[in-house]
Amino acid sequence: MPENFKDQCAIFVSSCDAFSDAWKPFFKLFHRHWPDCPFPVYLIANQLVYDDPRVKTINIYPDKGWSANMAEALNKFPYPHIIYFQEDYFLKSAVSTKRILNLLDVLIKEKAACLRLWPSPAPGRVFKNYCDIGLINVNSPYRVSLQASIWDAKIFQSLLVPGESGRDMEFAGSERSKLVKNPFLSVTKSRYLKINNNPAIDYYCTGIVKGKWNYGVIKFFKKQGIEIGESKRGVESKSRYRARLLRAMPVFGIFFRFYYRALGKVK
């Protein structure tokens, strides 16, 4: 990795003022678990500013929607590569800067479009002789995923379409990505039961679910000494949280997904 890697990559945290109650928990955990992060950190917001010298707030007002906001932010602060985050990706454990720099080096060397740092979904097959990196198949659902990933910034921007939400980007963007010849990569999961024991960054994939705090995140915050007293956001029910966990289980999750769909039809 060249010595000027700080000019090669930056972290962009996608957000808006409606989710400002997540900023303090996010950055408190971010700096706790990644204190030696070598990259500049940018937060996309509307009118509010996060008061921390380690974070540069990019104000985009009026709010133009996820895709247009993202494009404007990347145009204001152009970097060859970015690491994409969202404000509710709460770090759970220490991040290895050495590993992230190695993965960035792989992305540059292999001229990859992206390298997913959280294998969700997992890559379809091995990639060359890398022991912990796989190739995402062209027809794979969520080939374009907005989980934490290192991206070639120009390719990421080429996939953005004004008016699209992040969800649209994952669906329609995955279709558009079929025209991109560069490989889409990801760190791998365990070969057995597809257990996610190999994330380059370990975090809650979705700390806010349908506008409410993830029940598990609230429990995690208490253990971490994180307070959300000023937040007026509700918390999902324990039963909904348990159902999500069961549906996401390796192998047995298929049964629980069928069970909850049937239960919904009965109700």
What tokens were used for 18?
Answer: 């409606």
- One-character DSSP codes across the chain: --TTHHHHEEEEEE--GGGGGGHHHHHHHHHHH-TT--S-EEEEESS-----TT-EEEE-SS---HHHHHHHHHHHS--SEEEEEETT--B-S---HHHHHHHHHHHHHHT-SEEESS-SSPPSEE-TT-SSEEEPPTT-TTSS--SSEEEEHHHHHHT--TT--HHHHHHHHHHHGGG--S-EEEE---SSTT-----SS-B-S-SEETTEE-HHHHHHHHHHT---TT----B--HHHHHHHHHHTSTTTHHHHHHHHHHHHHH-
Instruction: Find the distance separating the first CA and the last CA of the chain, reported in whole Å.
Output: 57
Predicted confidence at residue 7, as pLDDT, reads 85
Name the amino acid, one letter, at 171.
F
Q: Whole-angstrom Cα distance, residue 150 to residue 137? A: 17
The pTM assigned to this predicted structure is 0.90
Band of residue 247 on the pLDDT scale cut at 50, 70, 90: low
In sequence order, what are the residues at sequence separation of 6 or more whose Cβ sits closer than 8 angstroms to the Cβ of residue 77? Answer: 10, 40, 42, 56, 58
Q: Whole-angstrom Cα distance, residue 211 to residue 236? A: 9
CATH code 3.90.550.10 region(s) in the chain: 5-231
Instruction: Express each pLDDT in 146-172 by its tens digit.
Output: 999 999 999 999 999 999 999 999 999
Instruction: Express each pLDDT in 165-214 by its tens digit.
Output: 999 999 999 999 999 999 999 999 866 545 566 789 999 988 999 999 99
Predicted confidence at residue 48, as pLDDT, reads 98
Position of tokens 């806010």?
A: 208
Band of residue 259 on the pLDDT scale cut at 50, 70, 90: very low
Fold of domain 5-231: Spore Coat Polysaccharide Biosynthesis Protein SpsA; Chain A (3.90.550)
Instruction: Express each pLDDT in 58-92 by its tens digit.
Output: 999 999 999 999 999 999 999 999 999 999 999 99
